[in-house]
Amino acid sequence: MLVTARVKVLAQPIASATPSPGASIEATAELKPGTIISADNVAQYARYVPAAAKFAVAHGFRMRINPERRVEWSQGFQHATEKYAAQVSLDSDGYLKNYVAGMPFPLIEANDPGAAAKIAYNWHMGPFMPDDFSIAPWSSNAYKSDPADAHKIVPNPDSDYSCEQFEFLRFAHRTDVDPRPTIGGNGTGAEWKAKCNRWITQLGGTSFEGAGIWVRYLDAKHPDEFFSFSEASRRIRRGAVNLAYPDESCRGCHQPFWAYALPKTENYEYRLLGTTVILACLAADDEPAGFKSGSSGLTLGEEPFELRHAYILEMRPRYTTEGSSPSLRTVVYIDSEVYVWLAAEFYDASNLTATAIPLWRMRPSSEGGSLFDLAGSFYRPESGGSLFRSLVPAHNEFQQMINTGNVGEGAFNPLMMQR
């Protein structure tokens, strides 16, 4: 049986890739379960608190500290790891080779020059990735502080985005829902497909509507494809997508893609900066997470956090898109046990442009272990003042399903978007 303990790496632990002033180990107060981190005491625990969370706390969010726990993989994912991992390697280009399903690299040598790429593949193929997923509806919304009360928030509809129904289906690397590990012959060579059946976005006060299907291919050098449908033109357009995340155009909409339809691994070069211990939300109380509404209006709420061991991974795009800077990079914090992302920092040259944290919610898997859904997130553009976004259900009446087997191949026929 393969060992599924945390990967051991050569890099020395560091507190942060961009440590905050005054956040030394000596100045950090003891963090005990039951502690509530708020605006009054966040400075005492700054070493553990991601930048986006510090911003949220300053505007009324509270972090309730729970004990760290071991998060088990599903039996299907564990079995696939034991069956296939021994044959997996990186090719001469640093791309994944002979991968079928499960964790690609459950064991990584401390002095392995490919450690960073292997951790990235573990992130992108990790145990939180569903075989199918559906949520109806969801939205990505912008907010800002209420000028009359910094602890209250008000909508800021610039670039709001909503989708009636978002569906995701894995065609390969399946571990928990039959057929496994591949759907049929998979003649198109698809890794996964994702679809929004009807989206509405606000840009500069103008509303736009349409639909779209995103296709990821198994071939490392095959760019993603996107089929877009516009209500205005009633036409379907097909185009190659080779986005090198992060990109200016996606910094405000990164959440849905970083939840499940992750950026294409091969579009980046990776560097392991070190390891750290960070506070993260893996079991949110509420969905949508992080918000509460009452007689006094909309405010930020309280969610459970726990200390997690994380790898600090730097991502730099191999390619640049038109109008984007070649100096774009992301520092992402990856959980060393279940390989979900816990925090991210976005840079352009030496400037920090945005920070983000996800608010995950765990649920039991039918095959043991846990499934993860993105209950919310905080995203703060540095240039946007007190602006932040959260991926949330579009209203309280929504349905979210993971690994039900109810998302079929027919849902991703581009012609269906014209109906």
Q: 3-state SS of the chain: helix, strand, coil percent to 5? A: 15, 40, 45
User: Residue 40 pLDDT > 90, yes or no?
Assistant: yes
Six-digit token string for 246: 């992060």
For the segment 316-324, the average pLDDT, to the nearest whole number, is: 69
Tokens of 295: 């007689």
The SS3 of residue 87 is helix
> Which of 65-69, 87-91, 299-303, 394-398 has the weakest average pLDDT?
394-398
> 323 lies in a domain?
yes
Question: pLDDT tens-digit profile of 23-35?
Answer: 443 345 789 999 9
Would 176 be classed as within a structural domain? yes
- CA–CA separation, 146 and 152 (whole Å): 5
The answer to the question of residue 4 being in a domain is no
Helix (H) or strand (E) holding 82: helix 75-84
Q: CA 283: distance to chain centroid?
A: 15
The C-alpha atoms of residue 282 and residue 176 are separated, in whole angstroms, by 21
Q: Is residue 175 part of a domain?
A: yes
Q: How far apart are CA 99 and CA 116, in angstroms?
A: 17
Question: d(Cα 318, Cα 181) in Å, to the nearest integer?
Answer: 30
How many domains, the chain?
Answer: 1
Query: Has residue 31 been placed in a domain?
Result: no
Q: Can you give the residue range of the structural domain that contains 241? A: 36-418
187 has pLDDT over 50: yes
pLDDT of residue 26: 38
The residue that leads in pLDDT, 167 or 367, is: 167
**309 in a structural domain:** yes
pLDDT digits (tens, 9 = 90+) for 120-158: 999 999 998 999 999 888 777 778 888 888 777 888 776
Q: pLDDT tens digits for 61-83?
A: 999 999 999 999 999 999 999 99
Residue 19 has pLDDT above 50, yes or no: no
Rounded mean pLDDT, 178-194? 96
Q: What gap in Å lies between CA 256 and CA 203, rounded to an integer? A: 19
pLDDT digits (tens, 9 = 90+) for 160-177: 778 888 899 999 999 999
DSSP category for residue 198 = E
Q: What is the mean pLDDT of residues 91-116?
A: 94
* Residue 7 lies inside a defined structural domain of this protein: no
> Mean pLDDT over residues 323-349, rounded?
85
For the full predicted model, state whether its pTM sits above 0.75: yes
pLDDT at 148: 84
For residue 76, the domain's CATH number is: 2.50.20.10
Length, in residues, of the chain: 419
Range with the poorest average pLDDT among 69-73, 306-310, 382-386, 390-394: 390-394
51 belongs to a structural domain: yes
Average pLDDT, the chain: 83
